[in-house]
Structure 1
Amino acid sequence: MLRHQEEASSQNNAILQSLNDAVIVFSTDRSIILANAAAERILEKPIDELVTQSFDELLASLNIKLPGDPLGDVLANPGDHNGDQRAITIKRGPQSLSISLVPVLTERGELLGACLIGRDITREVESDRLKTEFIGTVSHELRTPMTSIKGYTQLLAMGSLGEVNPTQKEFLTTITTNAERMIAIINDLLDITKIETGSVELQPSRMHVAEVLSAVVSSNRLELSQREHELALNLSPNLPLLWGDPERLRQVVQNILTNAIKYTPRGGKIAVTAREIALADIPAAQREGLPLNRRYIAIAVQDTGVGIDPEEQDRIFERFYRTENPLKIEAGGTGLGLSLVRPLLNLMGGRIWVTSTADQGSTFTFTMPVAPAE
């Protein structure tokens, strides 16, 4: 029996040491009790030294600062983290690391400690940076000729070089429409680049939510009519002023409304609402990092569209991601619109989440902070 246990332990240790990911196990008192060879290689610290340190001593020796206390959260609430390996990306000089923490439990559910899994993602981060720079450069080069195409096409349609017959005007209008579509895609790509490089410049000011929402709804009347959608705009009375960048907020609302219009079958209903919301009514996952002393307004866009599967509801905010549904081909698009929404809102102190039921529709709700008193 003892020999069998020794063999099993030896096999488990061999597997642990062969992993390419760093594995560090902490006891409930936050001290390190086990580390593998990959941890030694990635963190550039001998295993003998690692096992003499606590979690906090390890972070201090590596000059790493983490948001909050992730180990404390796992040890205090293991049930909330069992199976949840949400990664945290951290910078350590030129090195980028992705780490996640999960509880270590016995078969009876007793807490033994926590396990840190770390991966060196320096190459991936650098590759993504180069890709972002390339997209930004190409987008800049494309925007100038597309703007010229749009401008000259509009001049031709206006008859600047002679009378234009109805067929010619129809063709020129089609060219203009598609040029505008290409320019919009290019602008989205440029915005993605700015967000990822941290170069977005906001111009925050006090603003009326009614003015922003009314302007966006009005600019979409034609498309709403073409798809025979019914749109209702409902605002709570006496809403306080918002604080944020008006142009960026319009962009956020436009992208969400465009998504609702595209993915709602013809003749659907869309409702845009705004109301003041208590911090406690914001989902717990979205409240993190929000000041406790601020007031917020919640803006929601509800549709009677095809809905979003639960496993896709968080992925829709990823770049280029598009849900699998019958309207995907008809809707078109690049999957960039919603990927811009979350980071722009985060920059303005807002949050966004989605609730959805298949074949019944979706509700995108986002918050914006109320303007401070003058």
Structure 2
Amino acid sequence: MRKRIQKQAQVEETTDLSLPMTSDLPVVGSNDCKAISTLAQQRHRVLDAAILTTSDAIVVLTPDFHIAYLNPAAAATLKEPVEHTVGSRCTEVLGCKNLNRMALCGTSSCPLVRALEQKSPLPNEELILGTDPNHLYEVSASVNPITLDDKSSYVVFSARDMSALKVANRVRSNFVSMVSHELRTPLNSVHGFIDLLLQGHMGELNEEQRMYLGYTQEGVQQLISIVEDILFMTRSDLGQFEVKQQEVHLLSLVRQVARSLQPQALKAEVALRLDIDSNVPALYIDPQRIKQVLNNLVANAIKFTPPGGMVTISARQHDDHFEMISVSDTGYGIPFEDSHHVFERFYQSNHSQQSKMGGYGLGLSIAKLIVEQHGGTIGFDTVVNKGTTFYFTVPLYRDHEQF
């Protein structure tokens, strides 16, 4: 729920910095001034008490990322005294990292940067806070840009400690990972034996036998893919997912993806087009992971594009540090009611055209995870019955110590 916050708590008396307080009370006659003043004071006291006593960490920042206020819970959580913190840069206090402990400060994935650029709240950001390696906190944070009546702007950062919940989630993830791992071995064995049968090692097969074994092999391969994706997600949840970045030339990588998906495109009667300059700067990425992102996006685009359509892979420089890669199609588009759930795990659309295409709802979640591990962002634009463009940013190759 979006809220326009027009009241902020005053900074504790130990600091010189204070935030303006406003009221939503209507203008009335002079006879009611005393009652209005009393009510306003009561509201202020309630707000002050709520902010001071809540167990959630609340930090107020200026648009240039300096700390304007933090409540007692934030000071206790971050182990930062108020008098030494107000006026400091947020990188010196919050030190936001994603769940794989990759620093977000100074990248386009920084939640404060994204909230200011989008001019809208970010409701549920899973982050690790803290600058002391011995005192890091996993939190669910909301980031809300606000503008007060006097036109001054702030960003309200509130965070709730998720440590206990994370312990329970890790137990669940360990169990899922164990089960998935145990499934993978027998599935690979079944796949291998079917392959031997199809190659004729157990005797000649007639066409009908080959056809049914082919269907069986496709089903087993799909199960293997599902198990691999679930293993990938659970390992990420357990903090066991790392990216191995190196210098990579994008055009070569995209050509590999296009070649591997060309049979699927031909079967769907969809054209694959590359729109990438040969002089595109080198990227600093994990080639296998980014290839997985492109595979997921291009395969989805082919799947949701009708015969005679086109899928285009393009790239352009996003800024001085990031390249933007796009996958555009001329397909069915994403219905509005599904657009907010696109990157959710296992989400399945109820839309008739989408649901009949199958899938199990992990491909885009994995793509988002991989892109964010590179410090980039991912999003999409869509028009129903005209097409969709997914785009993501990845770092350009510089001295790797910068990343």
TM-score band, normalised by shorter chain: 0.7 to 0.9
Change (3 A) 1:54 1:320: farther
Change (3 A) 1:327 1:17: same
Give 1:259's aligned residue: 300
SS of structure 2 residue aligned to 1:341: helix
Alignment of 1:138-157 (within 5 A): 138-157=179-198
Report the residue type matching 1:180 in the other structure: Q
Change (3 A) 1:343 1:32: closer
1:355 aligned onto 2:397 = no
Give 1:235's aligned residue: 276
Report the residue type matching 2:121 in the other structure: D
Note the residue ranges of structure 1 that are not aligned, 5 or more in a row: 280-291
Alignment of 1:43-192 (within 5 A): 53=82, 56=85, 65-67=94-96, 84-87=121-124, 89-91=127-129, 93=135, 96-102=138-144, 108=149, 110-111=151-152, 117-192=158-233
SS of structure 2 residue aligned to 1:220: helix
How far residue 171 of structure 1 moved from its aligned partner, in angstroms, is: 1.1
Change (3 A) 1:81 1:177: closer
Q: Give the Cα separation in 2 of the matches to 1:344 and 1:140.
A: 21
SS of structure 2 residue aligned to 1:317: coil
Q: Give the Cα separation in 2 of the matches to 1:14 and 1:84.
A: 24
How far residue 345 of structure 1 moved from its aligned partner, in angstroms, is: 2.6
How far residue 231 of structure 1 moved from its aligned partner, in angstroms, is: 1.8
Report the residue type matching 1:366 in the other structure: F
Change (3 A) 1:137 1:329: same
Q: Give the Cα separation in 2 of the matches to 1:104 and 1:229.
A: 46
Give 2:351's aligned residue: 325
Q: Give the Cα separation in 1 of the matches to 2:383 and 2:38.
A: 52
Q: Give the Cα separation in 2 of the matches to 1:369 and 1:25.
A: 29
2:261 alignment partner, one of 216, 220, 230: 220
Q: TM-score, normalised on structure 1?
A: 0.73
SS of structure 1 residue aligned to 2:352: coil
Q: Give the Cα separation in 2 of the matches to 1:30 and 1:157.
A: 66
Q: TM-score, normalised on structure 2?
A: 0.68
Give 1:307's aligned residue: 333
Give 1:338's aligned residue: 364
Change (3 A) 1:160 1:23: closer
How far residue 363 of structure 1 moved from its aligned partner, in angstroms, is: 1.3
- The superposition leaves residues 347-367 of structure 1 with CA deviations (integer Å, 9 ceiling, x where unpaired) of 345443322222211112233
Change (3 A) 1:165 1:297: same
More helix by share: 1
Note the residue ranges of structure 2 that are not aligned, 5 or more in a row: 1-31, 97-104
- Mean alpha-carbon deviation: is it higher for 302-311 or for 220-229? 302-311
- The superposition leaves residues 157-203 of structure 1 with CA deviations (integer Å, 9 ceiling, x where unpaired) of 22222222222211111111111111111111122123333323444
Give 1:287's aligned residue: none
How far residue 114 of structure 1 moved from its aligned partner, in angstroms, is: 6.8
Native 8 Å contact 2:57 2:160 kept in 1: no
Change (3 A) 1:127 1:20: farther
Q: Give the Cα separation in 2 of the matches to 1:31 and 1:273.
A: 42
Alignment of 1:269-280 (within 5 A): 269-274=310-315, 276-279=316-319
Q: Give the Cα separation in 2 of the matches to 1:173 and 1:260.
A: 25
SS of structure 2 residue aligned to 1:331: coil
How far residue 243 of structure 1 moved from its aligned partner, in angstroms, is: 3.5
Native 8 Å contact 2:67 2:87 kept in 1: no
Give 2:342's aligned residue: 316
SS of structure 1 residue aligned to 2:392: strand
Q: Give the Cα separation in 2 of the matches to 1:242 and 1:79.
A: 27
How far residue 304 of structure 1 moved from its aligned partner, in angstroms, is: 0.8
Change (3 A) 1:302 1:56: same
- The superposition leaves residues 208-243 of structure 1 with CA deviations (integer Å, 9 ceiling, x where unpaired) of 433322222222222212222122223323334443
Report the residue type matching 1:277 in the other structure: Q
Change (3 A) 1:367 1:159: same
- The superposition leaves residues 146-167 of structure 1 with CA deviations (integer Å, 9 ceiling, x where unpaired) of 1011111111222222222222
Q: Give the Cα separation in 1 of the matches to 2:395 and 2:120.
A: 34
- Mean alpha-carbon deviation: is it higher for 24-33 or for 312-321? 24-33
Report the residue type matching 1:132 in the other structure: S
Q: Give the Cα separation in 1 of the matches to 2:276 and 2:143.
A: 43
Change (3 A) 1:266 1:209: same
